[in-house]
Every structure is written in C-alpha cells, then in structure tokens.
Amino acid sequence: MARERKIDMVILGLLNHEDLTGYDIKKRIDGAISFFWKGSFGNIYPALKDMENQGLITKRELAVGGRDKITYHITKSGKAALKDWLREEQVSNELKYETLLKLFFSGADSREVSLRNIEVFEEQIKKDLKLLKTYSETLEKAPDTEDHVYYSLTVSFGIETYEAYLKWCAKAKKMLGKRVMEIDETES
Amino acid sequence: MARERKIDMVILGLLNHEDLTGYDIKKRIDGAISFFWKGSFGNIYPALKDMENQGLITKRELAVGGRDKITYHITKSGKAALKDWLREEQVSNELKYETLLKLFFSGADSREVSLRNIEVFEEQIKKDLKLLKTYSETLEKAPDTEDHVYYSLTVSFGIETYEAYLKWCAKAKKMLGKRVMEIDETES
DNA sequence: ATCAGCATGTAAGGCGTTACATGATTCA
DNA sequence: TGAATCATGTAACGCCTTACATGCTGAT
C-alpha cells in the first residue's frame, strides 16, 4: 500500500525552494497550486510532524517577538524523496466535476435547470481564468529562472484548459437552446 | 455539514433511467462517468443500504437461476432528491492532477525527468481520448433522445478538454527543449 | 475442468475536511 | 479598541480505497 499522502510532496516541493512555516505553506498552496491541489491546516501540520520524524525535514523554532514561530527546512533525505517521487512514472490524475455529473443526469429535470448549472460553472471558470491571467502577466515581467519555466507551464495549462471549458460552455448553451442576445462583453 | 456523499446522486441518476443491481451500477460508473466521477463496491453497496433505509430507493430480490440478484428501483422521494440536487447551485469541481504537481516542482530535477512526466501524461490522454471518440461515434448513430443530448455534452466536454491538453503537451515539450524528430503518426 | 465474469458484501485503514481552541500582532 | 491576519495545533467525523471473503454461472 505504501505512502499515498501527496501533501508530503507538496511540502517537500515548497521547502526545496525556501524554508517555510506551516502557515506559509498553507498560503503557498492556496495560490497557484490550488488549481490542481488542495491542502488544509488539519492536513499540513500533522504531515509536518510525521515528516520530521521521518527525517525528511527539520524544524527551527525561532522566538519572533515573544511568539514561537516554527520554520521547516528540507533535509538531504527529503530532497532525495522529492526526486524519487518526481521520477516515479505512476501518477494519479483525477477530475471530480460535479457540474458534469449533474449535466449527465439532467434528463431528470428541465433544460432551464441544466442551463443554469452550465452558467454557474461558466461564471466560476471566468473568475478563475481572470486570476490565472494575472499570474501569467506577473510571470511575464519576472526574471527567466528555471523554476519560472515550470510555474509558467502550469499556469498556461490552466489558461488553455479553462479557455476550452468556456468554448464548450458556449456550445452547450447553444445546444440547449439558450438564445444569446447579450452583446459579448470583452473581459477588459 | 449535511450530506456530502455524492455517490448517492450518481446512483439516483442511474436508477432514474432504469432499475439496476449494485454490480450494474458499478459497471455504468466505470463507463463514461468515470471520466468525471468514480465509484467502488465498498462505496456503492453501503450507499444502497443507506438509501433504502431513507426511502430513496426500494430493493427487489429476484432469484435468477438459484442465485440472489438484488435490483434497485428509485422511489418518488428518490426522484425528488435527485431534482433537489440538480437545482442546488453550489457545486464542487475539483482537479487533482499529480502531473501538474510534479511539473510545478520540477525545478528539483533534470529536464529529462520533466519531459518524461509530460510524455506519460500525454500517452494517457491519447488513450482516453481514443475511448471518448468511440463513445462519440456510437452516439452519432444512436437516436436523438433527451438523455442523449446530455450524454453527448459530457463526452464532448471530455474530447475538447483532452484535445486542449494535447496541445498544451506539445507546447510544453517544445518549451522544455524536446526536439520532435518523429514523423507524426496519425491516430488512425 | 478451468477461468473470466457475475454478484454481494464487510473490514481496516488512510486521508482529508471542518470545526474547535488558543493566543499574539498589526493596522486602522 | 476592534478586526483581520498571523500562527499552531487537535478532535471528530466522513468518505473512499483496498483487500478480503464467498460463491455462482457461462463459455472454452
């Protein structure tokens, strides 16, 4: 059965770049990473404890203004574990889209309901796409480091697939009989 | 907190169309649905028991050649629950792509490793896309029912996003310096 | 006869979310 | 002074996966 908990790898990946506190790790995950992976405190803190016991990371307690702040640092063993994971070919890529599930079973209700569900999805995607594009713009102005190449690729994955989603939404709405009378608003 | 278990809705959705055994339900889920939702026996059978207790479905035991076969049937209350769910606007759409996670942290290893990971992803997507296209072809020959519209839309969602993935793969490989010397094989 | 598929379940364990609990600091 | 954010955790609970357990049927 072995280790399945991927949050460890997220943590190692982040710590490989810089030392961080659990709180910082959470913030990083809530950024661009959240588009393809999630994490919570109840997830992260126990993982940090385990990983320290395994010798993958070390902790450094610093008293910052009378308060404890715990910063984690990746060890050699941790770096090795990260590489091992990167070189493993077996991956789990999973989509759990409730919108598609609903659409699949939409024969049970009216077309208005299906259309509304597609619109809800579309609105969310538009919002997310806007965010991805700000990431992309920030990246264009940033220096060309090796890490940036990878960051940039994941962002462009998001942008391209989300644009495909939007195209599909338009087609789906048309197919379900939505008359598009609105003038298309360019997303300025 | 309320009900979170979406497998119930998958089951209701399927039973809304026809009576099925637990085993049949699993097979249906392993078909086109598996692209956006998963289910297992350890998941399905307990759900069926719960849902029967809740009055959402009823069971019919039939002795088929000396063997017990349990077929489930959706009730009025079950149909209402299905509609309620369809009309709920709050949805959870989640992507958990380990490939992207690896790519994001690929600065920790060589470009060869990143390229290999993209290739593994690409191969999987090509395989899945082929399957989706057979679904699509089957659909084209099938009668134009209301249910088919929705089935068709979910399949086309898959095809279009997977094609976007493949485009991205090509771009990513190029960006990471993969020289494409192979003559492109048309997927006949 | 044997093997794949049909058919129904249970049990253990893992993983994750949410809510709870606590308290310091910073900024308006 | 009050709210937001920083910061670290724990506990309960829920859901799912995997493996196990069992036995029949149909095809080769």
Q: Do B86 and A94 touch (CB under 8 A)?
A: no
Q: What own/partner pairs with CB < 8 Å and gap ≥ 24 does A146-155 have?
A: A146/B107, A147/A17, A147/B107, A149/B107, A149/B175, A149/B176, A150/B103, A150/B104, A150/B105, A150/B106, A150/B107, A150/B114, A151/A32, A151/B104, A153/B103, A153/B172, A153/B175, A154/A32, A154/A35, A154/A36, A154/B100, A154/B103, A154/B104, A155/A32
Please give the structure tokens belonging to residue A66: 């009378």
**Residue B100, min C-alpha distance to chain A (Å):** 6
Cα B40 to Cα A173: distance, rounded to the nearest angstrom: 33
Statement: the CB of B63 is under 7 Å from strand D? no
Chain B residues inside the 8 Å CB shell of A171? 156
Rounded to the nearest angstrom, the gap between the alpha carbon of residue A167 and the centroid of all alpha carbons in its chain is 22
> How does pLDDT run across B102-113, given as a tens digit for each residue?
999 999 999 999
Q: From the CA of B118, how many Å to the C1' of D15?
A: 31
Q: From the CA of B175, how many Å to the C1' of C25?
A: 45
Statement: the CB of B24 is under 7 Å from strand C? yes
Q: Do A108 and B83 touch (CB under 8 A)?
A: yes
**Residue A60, min C-alpha distance to chain B (Å):** 23
pTM: 0.93
Nearest nucleotide to B23, CA against C1' atoms: C7
Chain A residues inside the 8 Å CB shell of B97? 36-37, 93-94
> How does pLDDT run across B58-102, given as a tens digit for each residue?
999 987 766 789 999 999 999 999 999 999 999 999 999 999 999
Q: What is the pLDDT of residue B2?
A: 62
**Which of A125, A154, A169, A178 to mutate to probe the B interface, most B CBs <10 Å?**
A154
Would you give per-residue pLDDT tens digits along chain B (188 residues)?
A: 567 899 999 999 999 999 999 999 999 999 999 999 999 999 999 999 999 999 999 999 987 766 789 999 999 999 999 999 999 999 999 999 999 999 999 999 999 999 999 999 999 999 999 999 999 999 999 888 888 999 999 999 999 999 999 999 999 999 998 655 444 444 43
